[in-house]
């Protein structure tokens, strides 16, 4: 089995196959606009990664992920650089996330799976961002949301409480090549954002844990 993660030098990412479930993808909650604008197509490595992760026990998967991350010398994991978590696998993916959190891994990522987004807010050192279209209603509750700008290949990030619709005061803009906030424009690097509390990490309060290997 090849590595489950892709290395960006300072952090690692998980890719699931993008697209409709009927087409072999994992984007069950994608909007028609998102599917229309998406330029990515599933590849064999994404399919193998997804199949392995949903067909093996959480302890087995978490141990594999941790070994991959140790080999790459990173402790920051980005979920769903492509694809998403389908509803039927939500509990399974959450179990994996809880196990690697206990081992000291910091987890971030983007999802349209509301149940996953809500549940990860209780997982130590984990910040998942809920993606929703501009002006669309969203579930009530505090957390970080992302509103995509498909033309600019960017998202505006908001940290809000009880809102009826996506919007409010933008805290940051994250694009393929840069991150921008009120203080300036920076190269897009998730680890740099973590260190400087920018982008997804605005207001980040990490918890120091004694690392535990999954049972």
Last residue in a domain, options 98, 129, 160: 129
The pLDDT value recorded for residue 194 is: 85
pLDDT > 60? residue 182: yes
The pLDDT value recorded for residue 207 is: 78
- Residue 174's domain comprises 132-204
Residues pairing with 186 in the sheet: 179
Phi, psi of 49 (to 5 degrees): -60, -50
pLDDT > 80? residue 187: no
| pTM (predicted TM-score) | 0.87
pLDDT > 60? residue 148: yes
The tally of domains found in the chain comes to: 2
Q: Where are the alpha helices (H) located in 73-144, listed in sequence order?
A: 90-102, 114-120
Q: Is residue 214 part of a domain?
A: no
Radius of gyration of the chain from Cα atoms? 16
At 12-54, the pLDDT tens digits run 999 999 999 999 999 999 999 999 999 888 999 999 999 999 9
Last residue in a domain, options 85, 113, 129: 129
Question: Which parts of 27-82 are beta strand (E)?
Answer: 76-82
Domain co-membership, 54 together with 119: yes
At 154-181, the pLDDT tens digits run 888 877 644 434 445 566 677 766 777 7
The Cα 65–Cα 33 span in angstroms is 32
Angle formed by the axes of helices 90-102 and 58-72, to 10°?
Answer: 50
Domain co-membership, 124 together with 138: no
Q: What DSSP state is assigned to residue 151?
A: T
Closest CA to 50 of 27, 31, 74: 27
Last residue in a domain, options 129, 156, 175: 129
């Amino acid at each position: 089995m090849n590595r489950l993660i892709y290395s960006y030098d300072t952090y690692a990412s998980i890719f699931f196959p993008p697209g409709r479930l009927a087409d072999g993808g994992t984007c069950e909650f994608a909007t028609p606009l998102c599917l229309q604008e998406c330029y990515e197509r599933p590849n064999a490595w994404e399919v193998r990664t997804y199949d392995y992760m949903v067909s093996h026990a959480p302890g087995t998967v978490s141990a594999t992920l941790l070994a991959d991350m140790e080999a790459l010398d990173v402790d920051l994991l980005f979920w769903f650089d492509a694809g998403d978590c389908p509803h039927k696998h939500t509990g399974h993916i959450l179990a994996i996330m809880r196990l690697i959190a206990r081992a000291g891994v910091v987890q971030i990522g983007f999802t349209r799976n509301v149940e996953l987004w809500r549940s990860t807010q209780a997982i130590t050192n984990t910040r998942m961002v809920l993606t929703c279209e501009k002006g669309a209603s969203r579930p009530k509750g505090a957390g970080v949301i992302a509103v995509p700008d498909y033309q600019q290949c960017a998202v505006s990030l908001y940290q809000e409480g009880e809102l009826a619709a996506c919007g409010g005061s933008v805290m940051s803009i994250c694009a393929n090549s840069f991150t921008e906030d009120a203080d300036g424009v920076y190269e897009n690097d998730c680890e740099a954002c973590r260190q400087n509390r920018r982008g997804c990490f605005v207001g980040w309060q990490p918890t120091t844990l004694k690392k535990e290997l999954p049972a």
